[in-house]
A and B are shown apart, each in its own frame.
Chain A
């Protein structure tokens, strides 16, 4: 027998009861957080200095605007373009004879206004050469691209195609280029990968394509943003923790080392940024713009340093990430704010362009099966040596 759902039901009921019991405590924390937001402790200059001088163990949002700002949306331009890219991939399968992976990028281009139009494309890329399936350093070290690293490679390709398509747009109309997910390549943070990997994929890849987009934005009104639906981030709540903290300068290791409860800042622990902004913002409004405190951003992103704001849609709070050069341009921020809200309203809660680019990118389970069958078939037709693992055969033919 596989999963016994009858046994799971009782456990689900237990989970729901526990969540319900915690709801009262969560609401009290949220009320306190909202009071703090409007208190003198969050005065802009004071809190900004406190954040900048702090030493914390969490990711804290940097302030660019007052933390409780609620910015209403301006109307969209009469004519504008929304461009989006999304990707999907087929990972390396070590049970197959051919060592290869596939990245499929979906692009959606939508023209709004007096000459409405739409163009979609689906662009599959197969990687199989030695220099394509691994990142290599000049001294001969190699990191094979698969799993998490393939996810990062895919993000780079999404950005590359987005920049290429943006470069092909006819001049004139304001344009918003959207990516799905974060602008921060989180997989490259920490100690997981060596410098040469980060250099090739981030500096020589993702950031290079953001450079291209920035170059294009000098000749036309072009903004780039990434969109995160139902975000779980806590950067702003963590800024509130600092506002609450009685120590100056804040230094978690010094004052609270080894303490995991009973700290003043625990009064808002467990809240998410979206909990805060769902109470603070009116529909259509955006929050203040914050800057990311991520170490990978600080070390590598430079002018593309990731900034973000939250936006209240009809059904949820979304997080929108933008590079610093966009955040510094009031017109571009206004364009992104209005275009994303408009996209979500046209798309029943999610940006139409991202939704359509996803539809073009998606690789289904059936596509994967067919892809590998095609690889095997082509190898066999060319009388190539064909070998695959017994484990794979066993999974394909289930017997009793």
Chain B
């Protein structure tokens, strides 16, 4: 994926999270990646925690079509309407915002505006945002329909790619998690295991 390019548009937003519809099918940013969206005088940063591809119209079920086809791509070539009837959406947890020259690892004053464009942050931006790991508390405390620990681990593995010494970054993050999850050794252990690349 070309980092920094516009990939989606916000279709649902709250103070704590946003839901975005991708412009292209199956072209969602990866789990744990950092995305941003502009709204008013600030930019909202969010971590992707769930990606979903589904029928655009409620009541129209997706059915299997490829029994007699050699490849999955052939299904789309033979049925060009499919790309217009399906949608890939993702949900992302808001972890901070940027206003003026300041970068803040807490929730912005307002949700991201509906229809605001969503960009995948470039690695330099990921590096700048993860200089402070204060946002991890927002992730650790979140109530999500999928395992929060999976999301934390995916986010840190993704962010570590922005550092020349990714191992050093992960050790720093591990220490932050040890403090955050000090009362739950089993959970800490589970996240740390998932940090292995």
Contact = CB atoms under 8 A, between A and B. Distances in A.
A108 B80 contact: no
A187 B139 CA distance: 65
A116 B77 contact: yes
Contacts of A111: 80
B65 to A, nearest CB: 9
B2 to A, nearest CB: 23
A189 interface: no
Interface string B56-97: 010010010000000000001111110111000000000000
A356 B81 contact: yes
Given A116-B76, A116-B78, 13 more contacts: A110-B81, A111-B80, A112-B78, A116-B80, A117-B80, A118-B83, A118-B84, A120-B81, A346-B78, A348-B63, A352-B79, A356-B81, A359-B57
A117 B76 CA distance: 9
Interface in A103-128: 108, 110-112, 116-120
Interface string A330-366: 0000000000000000101000100010010000000
A120 B57 CA distance: 14
Nearest to B63: A348
A187 to B, nearest CB: 31
Secondary structure type dominating chain A contacts: strand
- Bin chain A's interface residue count: 10 to 19
Interface residues of B, number: 12
B79 A346 contact: yes
A246 to B, nearest CB: 52
B64 to A, nearest CB: 11
A117 B82 CA distance: 9
B63 to A, nearest CB: 8
A364 to B, nearest CB: 10
Interface of A: 108, 110-112, 116-120, 346, 348, 352, 356, 359
27 contacts: A108-B81, A110-B80, A110-B81, A111-B80, A112-B78, A112-B80, A116-B76, A116-B77, A116-B78, A116-B80, A117-B80, A118-B80, A118-B81, A118-B83, A118-B84, A119-B84, A120-B81, A120-B84, A346-B78, A346-B79, A348-B63, A352-B79, A352-B81, A356-B81, A356-B85, A359-B57, A359-B60
Nearest to B83: A118
Most-contacted residue by chain A among B79, B80, B83, B84 (CB, 10 A): B80
List of 8 A-B pairs having minimum Cβ-Cβ separation, nearest first: A116-B80, A118-B81, A118-B80, A118-B84, A116-B77, A117-B80, A356-B81, A110-B80
Contacts of B78: 112, 116, 346
A346 B85 CA distance: 15
Contacts of A117: 80
A247 B105 CA distance: 95
Interface string B38-57: 00000000000000000001
A119 B173 CA distance: 48
Nearest to B57: A359
Nearest to B82: A118
A183 B98 CA distance: 61
B78 to A, nearest CB: 6
Contacts of A346: 78-79
Contacts of A356: 81, 85
Contacts of A120: 81, 84
B82 to A, nearest CB: 8
B80 to A, nearest CB: 4
Nearest to B80: A116
A119 B79 CA distance: 12
